[in-house]
Amino acid sequence: MFEKIQGHQTITNHLSKEINTNEVSHAYLFSGMDGIGKKKTAREFAKALLCRDETNKGCGHCTVCTQIEHENYPDVKIIGPKPGEASIKISQVRAMISELSIKPYSGNWRINIIDGAERMTPEAQNSLLKSLEEPLSYNIFILITSHAQTILPTIRSRCQSYHFQPLNFPDIEKIISEEGEFDQKAVTEALMASGGSPGMALYLLNNSEIQKERTHYLREVYSLLKGDEIKVFTLAEALSKDKTISQEMLEFFIHWFYEVDLLLAGHPLPNSGQPNPAHQAYHQLLGNEKNQAIIKTLFEMMATIQYNVNLRLQWEKCFIKIMKIQKG
Ligand SMILES: [Zn+2]
Protein backbone atom coordinates (compact mmCIF):
# COMPACT_ATOMS: atom_id res chain seq x y z
CA MET A 1 0.00 0.00 0.00
CA PHE A 2 1.07 3.57 -0.70
CA GLU A 3 4.36 2.59 -2.39
CA LYS A 4 3.83 5.38 -4.90
CA ILE A 5 3.75 8.08 -2.22
CA GLN A 6 7.02 9.87 -1.49
CA GLY A 7 7.29 11.12 2.09
CA HIS A 8 4.18 11.51 4.30
CA GLN A 9 5.12 8.22 5.96
CA THR A 10 3.35 8.92 9.26
CA ILE A 11 0.09 9.53 7.41
CA THR A 12 0.33 6.52 5.10
CA ASN A 13 1.28 4.28 8.06
CA HIS A 14 -1.84 5.45 9.90
CA LEU A 15 -4.07 4.89 6.89
CA SER A 16 -2.59 1.43 6.24
CA LYS A 17 -3.20 0.49 9.85
CA GLU A 18 -6.82 1.66 9.64
CA ILE A 19 -7.38 -0.52 6.58
CA ASN A 20 -5.68 -3.56 8.13
CA THR A 21 -7.63 -3.28 11.37
CA ASN A 22 -10.95 -2.38 9.73
CA GLU A 23 -11.07 0.96 11.47
CA VAL A 24 -11.56 3.20 8.48
CA SER A 25 -13.29 6.52 9.25
CA HIS A 26 -16.23 7.91 7.33
CA ALA A 27 -14.70 11.31 6.78
CA TYR A 28 -11.17 12.59 6.34
CA LEU A 29 -9.70 16.02 5.94
CA PHE A 30 -6.40 16.08 4.08
CA SER A 31 -4.84 19.51 4.46
CA GLY A 32 -1.54 21.00 3.39
CA MET A 33 -0.15 23.21 0.65
CA ASP A 34 -1.02 22.71 -3.02
CA GLY A 35 0.91 20.14 -5.02
CA ILE A 36 2.14 18.25 -2.00
CA GLY A 37 0.50 14.86 -2.68
CA LYS A 38 -2.86 15.02 -0.90
CA LYS A 39 -4.95 13.97 -3.89
CA LYS A 40 -2.46 11.30 -4.87
CA THR A 41 -2.64 9.91 -1.33
CA ALA A 42 -6.46 9.98 -1.50
CA ARG A 43 -6.34 8.01 -4.76
CA GLU A 44 -3.89 5.46 -3.34
CA PHE A 45 -6.10 5.13 -0.27
CA ALA A 46 -9.09 4.43 -2.51
CA LYS A 47 -7.06 1.81 -4.42
CA ALA A 48 -5.99 0.13 -1.18
CA LEU A 49 -9.64 -0.06 -0.07
CA LEU A 50 -11.09 -1.32 -3.34
CA CYS A 51 -8.29 -3.25 -5.08
CA ARG A 52 -9.06 -6.76 -6.33
CA ASP A 53 -5.68 -8.15 -5.27
CA GLU A 54 -6.19 -9.41 -1.71
CA THR A 55 -2.50 -10.03 -1.05
CA ASN A 56 -1.25 -6.71 -2.41
CA LYS A 57 -3.96 -4.12 -1.75
CA GLY A 58 -3.57 -1.12 -3.99
CA CYS A 59 -1.59 -3.23 -6.47
CA GLY A 60 -1.79 -0.56 -9.16
CA HIS A 61 -2.36 -3.11 -11.93
CA CYS A 62 -5.85 -4.59 -11.54
CA THR A 63 -8.80 -3.09 -13.40
CA VAL A 64 -10.01 -1.30 -10.26
CA CYS A 65 -6.65 0.34 -9.52
CA THR A 66 -6.25 1.33 -13.15
CA GLN A 67 -9.71 2.86 -13.32
CA ILE A 68 -9.19 4.75 -10.06
CA GLU A 69 -5.90 6.10 -11.42
CA HIS A 70 -7.74 7.37 -14.49
CA GLU A 71 -10.53 8.74 -12.32
CA ASN A 72 -13.24 6.73 -14.01
CA TYR A 73 -14.07 4.08 -11.43
CA PRO A 74 -17.79 4.37 -10.62
CA ASP A 75 -17.38 3.97 -6.83
CA VAL A 76 -14.79 6.72 -6.52
CA LYS A 77 -16.39 10.10 -7.10
CA ILE A 78 -14.20 13.16 -7.36
CA ILE A 79 -15.50 16.70 -7.51
CA GLY A 80 -13.68 20.02 -7.57
CA PRO A 81 -14.21 23.47 -9.06
CA LYS A 82 -15.14 23.09 -12.75
CA PRO A 83 -12.63 24.53 -15.24
CA GLY A 84 -12.82 28.32 -15.20
CA GLU A 85 -14.89 28.33 -11.99
CA ALA A 86 -13.49 29.48 -8.66
CA SER A 87 -15.92 27.59 -6.45
CA ILE A 88 -17.53 24.18 -6.02
CA LYS A 89 -21.20 24.77 -6.61
CA ILE A 90 -24.01 23.48 -4.43
CA SER A 91 -25.36 21.59 -7.48
CA GLN A 92 -22.13 19.54 -7.64
CA VAL A 93 -22.33 18.66 -3.96
CA ARG A 94 -26.04 17.81 -4.29
CA ALA A 95 -25.29 15.50 -7.22
CA MET A 96 -22.71 13.71 -5.08
CA ILE A 97 -25.10 13.48 -2.13
CA SER A 98 -27.92 12.12 -4.31
CA GLU A 99 -25.86 8.99 -5.02
CA LEU A 100 -24.87 8.27 -1.43
CA SER A 101 -27.80 5.95 -0.76
CA ILE A 102 -27.03 3.77 -3.79
CA LYS A 103 -25.00 0.71 -2.84
CA PRO A 104 -21.46 0.60 -4.23
CA TYR A 105 -21.20 -0.84 -7.72
CA SER A 106 -18.70 -3.45 -6.52
CA GLY A 107 -16.64 -3.79 -3.36
CA ASN A 108 -17.53 -2.49 0.08
CA TRP A 109 -16.99 1.24 -0.26
CA ARG A 110 -17.91 4.31 -2.17
CA ILE A 111 -15.28 7.01 -1.86
CA ASN A 112 -16.30 10.62 -2.29
CA ILE A 113 -13.38 12.96 -2.82
CA ILE A 114 -13.86 16.73 -2.70
CA ASP A 115 -10.74 18.34 -4.10
CA GLY A 116 -10.32 21.99 -3.19
CA ALA A 117 -12.88 21.65 -0.41
CA GLU A 118 -12.18 25.21 0.78
CA ARG A 119 -13.78 26.36 -2.45
CA MET A 120 -17.17 24.96 -1.56
CA THR A 121 -19.59 27.81 -1.06
CA PRO A 122 -20.99 27.96 2.52
CA GLU A 123 -24.33 26.63 1.24
CA ALA A 124 -22.50 23.75 -0.44
CA GLN A 125 -20.67 23.03 2.82
CA ASN A 126 -23.93 23.12 4.74
CA SER A 127 -25.59 20.71 2.35
CA LEU A 128 -22.69 18.31 2.89
CA LEU A 129 -22.90 18.56 6.65
CA LYS A 130 -25.98 16.34 7.03
CA SER A 131 -24.31 13.51 5.11
CA LEU A 132 -21.32 13.74 7.42
CA GLU A 133 -23.53 13.77 10.51
CA GLU A 134 -25.43 10.65 9.50
CA PRO A 135 -23.00 8.67 7.37
CA LEU A 136 -24.17 5.54 5.56
CA SER A 137 -21.90 2.61 6.38
CA TYR A 138 -20.32 2.26 2.94
CA ASN A 139 -19.55 5.92 2.22
CA ILE A 140 -16.20 7.54 2.85
CA PHE A 141 -15.54 11.24 2.33
CA ILE A 142 -12.12 12.69 1.73
CA LEU A 143 -11.99 16.48 1.78
CA ILE A 144 -8.80 17.88 0.31
CA THR A 145 -7.82 21.43 1.09
CA SER A 146 -4.89 23.83 1.13
CA HIS A 147 -6.77 26.15 3.53
CA ALA A 148 -8.37 24.10 6.28
CA GLN A 149 -9.26 27.33 8.13
CA THR A 150 -11.90 28.17 5.54
CA ILE A 151 -13.77 24.87 6.08
CA LEU A 152 -16.71 25.21 8.48
CA PRO A 153 -15.73 24.08 12.00
CA THR A 154 -18.83 21.85 12.10
CA ILE A 155 -17.44 19.96 9.09
CA ARG A 156 -13.86 19.88 10.32
CA SER A 157 -14.92 18.41 13.65
CA ARG A 158 -16.54 15.45 11.88
CA CYS A 159 -13.45 14.55 9.91
CA GLN A 160 -10.34 12.73 10.86
CA SER A 161 -7.66 15.27 9.99
CA TYR A 162 -4.31 14.63 8.42
CA HIS A 163 -2.01 17.56 7.80
CA PHE A 164 0.52 17.00 5.01
CA GLN A 165 3.89 18.55 5.81
CA PRO A 166 6.25 19.97 3.18
CA LEU A 167 8.47 17.28 1.67
CA ASN A 168 12.23 17.25 2.01
CA PHE A 169 14.35 18.01 -1.03
CA PRO A 170 15.51 14.41 -1.78
CA ASP A 171 11.86 13.27 -1.89
CA ILE A 172 10.93 16.15 -4.20
CA GLU A 173 13.92 15.44 -6.43
CA LYS A 174 12.81 11.82 -6.73
CA ILE A 175 9.35 12.94 -7.86
CA ILE A 176 10.84 15.46 -10.31
CA SER A 177 13.14 12.83 -11.84
CA GLU A 178 10.10 10.64 -12.57
CA GLU A 179 8.50 13.48 -14.52
CA GLY A 180 11.31 14.24 -16.95
CA GLU A 181 14.84 15.51 -17.40
CA PHE A 182 15.60 18.99 -16.17
CA ASP A 183 18.71 21.13 -15.97
CA GLN A 184 20.26 20.68 -12.49
CA LYS A 185 20.59 24.43 -11.85
CA ALA A 186 16.91 24.95 -12.66
CA VAL A 187 16.00 22.02 -10.39
CA THR A 188 17.95 23.55 -7.50
CA GLU A 189 16.22 26.91 -8.00
CA ALA A 190 12.80 25.27 -8.23
CA LEU A 191 13.49 23.28 -5.05
CA MET A 192 14.41 26.44 -3.16
CA ALA A 193 11.24 28.21 -4.30
CA SER A 194 8.95 25.19 -3.94
CA GLY A 195 8.28 25.57 -0.21
CA GLY A 196 8.44 21.77 -0.01
CA SER A 197 5.73 21.14 -2.61
CA PRO A 198 6.74 18.83 -5.47
CA GLY A 199 3.76 20.06 -7.50
CA MET A 200 5.01 23.62 -7.11
CA ALA A 201 8.60 22.62 -8.00
CA LEU A 202 7.38 20.96 -11.21
CA TYR A 203 5.13 23.88 -11.98
CA LEU A 204 8.06 26.28 -11.65
CA LEU A 205 10.32 24.06 -13.76
CA ASN A 206 7.72 24.01 -16.50
CA ASN A 207 6.92 27.72 -16.16
CA SER A 208 10.01 29.81 -15.54
CA GLU A 209 7.98 32.90 -16.46
CA ILE A 210 5.89 32.42 -13.34
CA GLN A 211 8.94 32.79 -11.16
CA LYS A 212 9.71 36.14 -12.81
CA GLU A 213 6.11 37.23 -12.39
CA ARG A 214 6.18 36.44 -8.67
CA THR A 215 9.35 38.42 -8.17
CA HIS A 216 7.67 41.33 -9.96
CA TYR A 217 4.59 41.23 -7.72
CA LEU A 218 6.69 40.98 -4.58
CA ARG A 219 8.49 44.17 -5.62
CA GLU A 220 5.17 45.91 -6.26
CA VAL A 221 3.69 44.88 -2.92
CA TYR A 222 6.90 46.01 -1.23
CA SER A 223 6.50 49.49 -2.76
CA LEU A 224 2.91 49.53 -1.53
CA LEU A 225 4.04 48.70 1.99
CA LYS A 226 6.58 51.51 1.73
CA GLY A 227 3.71 53.92 1.09
CA ASP A 228 3.37 54.09 -2.69
CA GLU A 229 -0.42 54.50 -2.80
CA ILE A 230 -0.73 54.26 -6.57
CA LYS A 231 0.20 50.56 -6.27
CA VAL A 232 -3.20 49.90 -4.70
CA PHE A 233 -4.75 50.56 -8.07
CA THR A 234 -2.10 49.21 -10.45
CA LEU A 235 -1.86 45.95 -8.51
CA ALA A 236 -5.64 45.61 -8.26
CA GLU A 237 -5.97 46.17 -11.99
CA ALA A 238 -3.26 43.66 -12.91
CA LEU A 239 -4.50 40.97 -10.56
CA SER A 240 -8.18 41.28 -11.42
CA LYS A 241 -7.72 40.39 -15.09
CA ASP A 242 -8.58 36.80 -14.38
CA LYS A 243 -9.95 34.83 -11.45
CA THR A 244 -7.34 32.08 -11.76
CA ILE A 245 -4.47 34.57 -11.60
CA SER A 246 -6.11 36.19 -8.58
CA GLN A 247 -6.43 32.83 -6.86
CA GLU A 248 -2.85 31.76 -7.64
CA MET A 249 -1.26 35.03 -6.59
CA LEU A 250 -3.35 35.13 -3.42
CA GLU A 251 -2.12 31.67 -2.46
CA PHE A 252 1.42 32.73 -3.23
CA PHE A 253 1.08 35.94 -1.13
CA ILE A 254 -0.27 33.94 1.83
CA HIS A 255 2.60 31.50 1.54
CA TRP A 256 5.04 34.38 1.24
CA PHE A 257 3.84 36.24 4.34
CA TYR A 258 3.89 32.93 6.26
CA GLU A 259 7.57 32.61 5.42
CA VAL A 260 8.17 36.18 6.55
CA ASP A 261 6.25 35.28 9.72
CA LEU A 262 8.65 32.38 10.35
CA LEU A 263 11.65 34.67 9.89
CA LEU A 264 10.15 37.32 12.19
CA ALA A 265 9.64 34.67 14.86
CA GLY A 266 13.26 33.61 14.48
CA HIS A 267 12.43 30.25 12.89
CA PRO A 268 14.19 28.81 9.84
CA LEU A 269 12.34 28.56 6.53
CA PRO A 270 10.83 25.15 5.67
CA ASN A 271 13.22 22.62 4.18
CA SER A 272 16.28 24.61 5.20
CA GLY A 273 15.46 27.14 2.46
CA GLN A 274 17.64 30.22 2.61
CA PRO A 275 16.05 33.67 2.91
CA ASN A 276 16.51 35.58 -0.35
CA PRO A 277 16.93 39.40 -0.62
CA ALA A 278 13.15 39.84 -0.87
CA HIS A 279 12.65 37.94 2.39
CA GLN A 280 15.21 40.16 4.05
CA ALA A 281 13.59 43.35 2.74
CA TYR A 282 10.14 42.32 4.02
CA HIS A 283 11.61 41.13 7.28
CA GLN A 284 13.13 44.55 7.92
CA LEU A 285 9.93 46.36 6.98
CA LEU A 286 7.34 44.38 8.94
CA GLY A 287 6.76 43.44 12.57
CA ASN A 288 5.09 40.32 13.91
CA GLU A 289 1.68 41.82 14.55
CA LYS A 290 1.48 43.70 11.28
CA ASN A 291 2.55 40.67 9.31
CA GLN A 292 -0.07 38.50 10.96
CA ALA A 293 -2.76 41.11 10.35
CA ILE A 294 -1.77 41.07 6.67
CA ILE A 295 -2.08 37.27 6.54
CA LYS A 296 -5.54 37.54 8.11
CA THR A 297 -6.55 40.14 5.50
CA LEU A 298 -5.34 37.85 2.70
CA PHE A 299 -7.37 34.97 4.11
CA GLU A 300 -10.45 37.21 4.18
CA MET A 301 -9.77 38.02 0.54
CA MET A 302 -9.52 34.28 -0.16
CA ALA A 303 -12.97 33.73 1.33
CA THR A 304 -14.40 36.69 -0.62
CA ILE A 305 -13.18 35.78 -4.10
CA GLN A 306 -15.02 32.48 -4.03
CA TYR A 307 -18.10 34.47 -4.88
CA ASN A 308 -18.94 36.40 -7.99
CA VAL A 309 -17.46 39.64 -6.77
CA ASN A 310 -15.89 42.60 -8.50
CA LEU A 311 -12.31 41.37 -8.27
CA ARG A 312 -10.73 44.75 -8.89
CA LEU A 313 -12.75 46.41 -6.15
CA GLN A 314 -11.99 43.59 -3.70
CA TRP A 315 -8.26 43.74 -4.43
CA GLU A 316 -8.32 47.52 -3.96
CA LYS A 317 -10.03 47.08 -0.58
CA CYS A 318 -7.54 44.38 0.35
CA PHE A 319 -4.51 46.49 -0.55
CA ILE A 320 -5.90 49.60 1.15
CA LYS A 321 -6.35 47.52 4.30
CA ILE A 322 -2.82 46.14 4.04
CA MET A 323 -1.47 49.66 3.59
CA LYS A 324 -3.36 50.85 6.67
CA ILE A 325 -1.99 47.93 8.68
CA GLN A 326 1.53 48.87 7.69
CA LYS A 327 1.00 52.55 8.53
CA GLY A 328 -0.25 51.41 11.96
ZN1 LIG B 1 -5.34 -3.31 -7.60
CB 30 within 8 A of CB 151: no
Contacts of 130 (CB under 8 A, 6+ apart): none
Q: Write out residues in the chain with pLDDT < 70, as ranges.
A: 271-273
CB 97 within 8 A of CB 133: no
Measure 47 CA to ligand 1 centroid, in angstroms. 6
pLDDT of residue 237: 95
Query: Whole-model pTM above 0.85?
Result: no
**Of the candidates 163, 192, 222, which is a domain's last residue?**
163
Tell me, yes or no, whether 1 lies in a domain.
Answer: no
**Of the candidates 136, 163, 190, which is a domain's last residue?**
163
pLDDT of residue 49: 96
Type of residue found at 238: A
Shared domain check, 231 and 96: no
Number of domains in the chain: 2
Query: Which residue from 282, 220, 295 is spatially nearest to 253, judged by alpha carbons?
Result: 295
Measure 63 CA to ligand 1 centroid, in angstroms. 7
pLDDT of residue 165: 93
| CATH number of residue 260's parent domain | 1.20.272
Contacts of 181 (CB under 8 A, 6+ apart): none
Measure 3 CA to ligand 1 centroid, in angstroms. 12
The residue segments making up the domain with residue 34 are 9-163
Measure 37 CA to ligand 1 centroid, in angstroms. 20
Tell me, yes or no, whether 178 lies in a domain.
Answer: no
Measure 76 CA to ligand 1 centroid, in angstroms. 14
Shared domain check, 157 and 217: no
**Residues 203-221, buried b or exposed e (16+ Cβ, 10 A)?**
bbbeeeeebebbeebbebb
Measure 46 CA to ligand 1 centroid, in angstroms. 10
**Of the candidates 163, 194, 224, which is a domain's last residue?**
163
Q: What is the residue-wise DSSP string for 235-275?
A: HHHHHTT-HHHHHHHHHHHHHHHHHHHHHHTTPPPGGGPPP
Measure 255 CA to ligand 1 centroid, in angstroms. 37
Measure 34 CA to ligand 1 centroid, in angstroms. 27
- pLDDT tens, residue by residue, 50-100: 999 988 999 999 999 999 999 999 999 999 988 777 789 899 999 999 988
**Residues 65-83, buried b or exposed e (16+ Cβ, 10 A)?**
bebbbeeebebbbbbbbee
Shared domain check, 239 and 98: no
- pLDDT tens, residue by residue, 249-258: 998 999 899 9
Measure 127 CA to ligand 1 centroid, in angstroms. 33
Shared domain check, 149 and 20: yes
pLDDT of residue 147: 87
Measure 110 CA to ligand 1 centroid, in angstroms. 16
Contacts of 252 (CB under 8 A, 6+ apart): 214, 217
Say how far apart CA 156 and CA 32 lie, in whole Å: 14
| CATH number of residue 64's parent domain | 3.40.50.300
- pLDDT tens, residue by residue, 12-43: 999 999 999 999 999 999 999 889 999 999 99
pLDDT of residue 273: 66
Shared domain check, 81 and 27: yes
Tell me, yes or no, whether 257 lies in a domain.
Answer: yes
